[in-house]
Structure 1
C-alpha cells in the first residue's frame, strides 16, 4: 500500500491519499459455477446462425439453465424477441 501511496504522491504531491476508501466487496449471485457463464456464452455464439444481441444471449443462457430464474436487472418483454427491443409505436 505504501508503494501505491508513493506513486500517487509522485504525480500529485498535494493529493490526500487518506481520502481514498477501500473498494467494497461485491457479493455475486451463484447461479453459475466459476467460468460456466463464459463457456455458455461462447457456446451460444458458436451455435448461432446469425449475430446475437446481448438479450438473445441471455435468453439462451436462461434456457440452458432451465429458465426458472430471471437475473436481477434483466428487463424486457416476451414480444421483444431475440433481436432486441420491440418496434416503437407511433
Structure 2
C-alpha cells in the first residue's frame, strides 16, 4: 500500500524535483568531462616523459597533488568496491580498479603512490569500524603478502 502525499503547493515540489534532476545531470556531465580532462593531462605527461624522462610536469602546480580526487570520493569508491565484491580484496586490487575507473594508465610508481592513498583510506575506514581485515594473500608474488579487506557486518 503506497502512502499518498498531498502538498499545499504541488507545483513547488515538482519544480524542486525538476531542478534537482537538472543539477544532478549537470554534475554528472561535468564529472565525465573532468575525467576526460584528467586522462588527457596524463597522456600529455606521458608524452613529455618520452622526450624528457626527468621532467616534472607537476612542478608548475606547487600545491596541487598529482591525481587529486574530490574529498570523500576515495572512501566512497573503496566502500562501494568492497560492498560489490564477491570476496575480500587487497589494497592493490582496489588501487588498480581506482586507476582504471579514473582512466589512468599508471606506471608502477604511480600505482604505489595511489596504493598509499588507498591504504590510508582503508586504515581510516578500519578505525571507524566500517571494514575489517580477513586474512592475507598466499599467491602474492614479490610484493606480498597483502591483507585482505571486507566490509564489516553492521558497518554500513
TM-score range, shorter chain: 0.3 to 0.5
**More strand per residue: 1 or 2?**
2
TM-score normalised to the size of structure 1?
0.46
**More helix per residue: 1 or 2?**
2
